[in-house]
A = this chain, B = another copy of it.
Amino acid sequence: MATVECTVDGEIATLTLNNPGKLNAIDLGMWRMLFENLAKIAVDRSIRCVVLRGAGNQAFAAGGDLEEFLTARATLDQALHYHGQVAAALQAIADCPQPTVALIEGACIGGGLEIAAACDLRIAGHGARFGAPINRLGFSMYPGELDGLLKLAGPAVVKEILLEGRILSAREAYEKGLLTRVVDDAGVADEAYATARRICAGAPLVAAWHKQWIRRLQSDLPLSEAEKAASFAFLDSDDYREGLAAFFEKRKPVFKAR
């Protein structure tokens, strides 16, 4: 059955897109499960990083579940509901206070590409491939979903993907700013979890603050005096004292998220 599994190993949660026999194509239930799992993770202070991946190594996710489009996305009301759920799941990834890492093997297409683009970092194998050839299916990408891709890679890359319907290799996707890193297919899980551990070695509050300020700065509104002051919240944190102390004592810091 189509599902999004959540497993936790120490400080790292893994969300696995799983739709057997369909290259992990994402159906409405999976979008909801993605949202619900992230809502739980967001308030779980024991988790410091989230890895998103597909089950098996043939696909991250090969797109939406097209069969379902015939029944669950056939009318305007259905479409607004369906893509409202998709938008909520993508927003939950983008808003997740913990850093998110997409671990990408094989096909990363359509909705799969949207999920990967919403993550903070993207580690892919050389054999992975990227695209959204929906121009040959006769429908356009929902603007609310297109936006994340556009902010990540810019209009020229999005036009190549959507107008030409082209499937990019991992190398091309890296060159065009869609990926953080490309490694051998055999090593992609190792590198993604090593990345997650490097994230966990940093102060968790600092990660959440950095995500918050990067999001805030996407808007062109100037920072208020209150925001400037709020950006020094770290001065009162135990973790800042620990970070500097560990640096001067030449030891590894131990952060407690407070």
A45 at the interface (CB under 8 A from B): no
**8 Å CB contacts to B: which residues of A171-191?**
174-177, 180
Contact partners of A216 in chain B: CB under 8 A: 143
A228 at the interface (CB under 8 A from B): yes
A9 at the interface (CB under 8 A from B): no
- Size bin of chain A's contact surface: 35 or more
Q: Are A79 and B232 in contact (CB under 8 A)?
A: yes
CA distance A144 to B242 in the complex (A): 25
In the complex, which of the residues B75, B76, B160 contacts A121, with contact meaning CB atoms closer than 8 Å? Answer: B160
Contact partners of A8 in chain B: CB under 8 A: none
**8 Å CB contacts to B: which residues of A46-89?**
66-67, 69-70, 74-76, 79-80
In the complex, which of the residues B135, B151, B210, B244 contacts A207, with contact meaning CB atoms closer than 8 Å? Answer: B135
CB within 8 Å for A199 and B163 given contacts A66-B247, A139-B206, A150-B217: yes
Q: Report which A residues bind B (CB closer than 8 A).
A: 66-67, 69-70, 74-76, 79-80, 99, 120-122, 133-144, 146-147, 150-152, 154-156, 158-160, 162-166, 174-177, 180, 195, 198-199, 201-203, 206-207, 209-211, 213-214, 216-220, 223, 227-229, 231-232, 234-235, 237, 239-244, 247-248, 253, 255
Q: How distant is A176 from chain B, measured CB to nearest CB, in Å? A: 8
Can you give 17 A-B contacts (C-beta < 8 A)?
A75-B235, A79-B232, A80-B232, A133-B202, A137-B203, A137-B240, A138-B234, A138-B241, A138-B244, A138-B253, A140-B206, A140-B213, A140-B231, A143-B231, A147-B217, A151-B155, A175-B175
Q: Are A150 and B244 in contact (CB under 8 A)?
A: no
Chain B residue with the shortest CB-CB distance to A143: B213
Number of copies: 3
Q: Are A138 and B255 in contact (CB under 8 A)?
A: yes
CA distance A103 to B224 in the complex (A): 34
Q: How distant is A157 from chain B, measured CB to nearest CB, in Å? A: 8
Q: Are B199 and A143 in contact (CB under 8 A)?
A: no
Q: Are A136 and B232 in contact (CB under 8 A)?
A: no
In the complex, which of the residues B151, B160, B237 contacts A180, with contact meaning CB atoms closer than 8 Å? Answer: B160
Contact partners of A234 in chain B: CB under 8 A: 138-140
Q: Are B141 and A210 in contact (CB under 8 A)?
A: yes
Q: Are B209 and A138 in contact (CB under 8 A)?
A: no
Contact partners of A156 in chain B: CB under 8 A: 120-122, 152, 177, 180
Chain B residue with the shortest CB-CB distance to A219: B220
Q: How distant is A108 from chain B, measured CB to nearest CB, in Å? A: 15
